[in-house]
Amino acid sequence: MKLRTKRPEWKSLVPLQLSRLSRKSAMRFFLFPKVQSAGQSPDDTPVYLNVYDLTPMNGYIYWAGLGIFHSGIEVHGVEYAFGAHDFPTSGVFEVEPRQCPGFRFRKSIFLGTTCLDPIQVRQFMELQSVNYNGDTYHLITKNCNHFCKDMCYKLTGNKIPKWVNRLARIGTIC
């Protein structure tokens, strides 16, 4: 008898389902505790970059500063990411943090904080998602890491680590 494991599913940002942002979602277990810095108010929420391996080969080339990675932005217990599909609609989706289907979770990186509450973050992501249609996804010029770089800067004022999208930058040179 084969046991089947339930794989997490991603949910599109369209249509809006505010019921996910109930009190229950705020009570989820976090692998990393909230980080409180000296200049941070209690209302600031940490923003994390969740990085995944796209290939098992990353285990060998990661230490040389290379790799092929997928990434998502985690805030308020929801992870937002960008992926490809064939339609001229948003490619932005949400998943449970560190559970993106099809990828192996590598690490979570603290990027900074945002003062936006869960509803405001959701509205912000919906507004930004119009710039990230699934049919415009490109491995070198507009991928999930470009999305995370853009969202991180807009949410926290900080950049993501350069190594996350290094191969795409190298691809633009060639």
Q: What is the pLDDT of residues 20-50, one digit of tens each?
A: 433 333 333 333 344 444 455 557 999 999 9
Contacts of 65 (CB under 8 A, 6+ apart): 163, 166
Residue 111 in contact with residue 47, Cβ under 8 Å? yes
Mean pLDDT of the chain: 80
Average pLDDT over residues 58-82: 88
Q: What is the pLDDT of residues 104-142, one digit of tens each?
A: 999 999 999 999 999 999 999 999 999 999 999 998 899
Q: Is the pTM value of this prediction over 0.85?
A: no
Euclidean distance between CA atoms 38 and 155, whole angstroms: 19
- The full set of domain ranges for the chain reads 45-173
Residue 165 in contact with residue 147, Cβ under 8 Å? no
| Superfamily classification of domain 45-173 | PPPDE domains (3.90.1720.30)
Enumerate the active-site residues: 70, 144
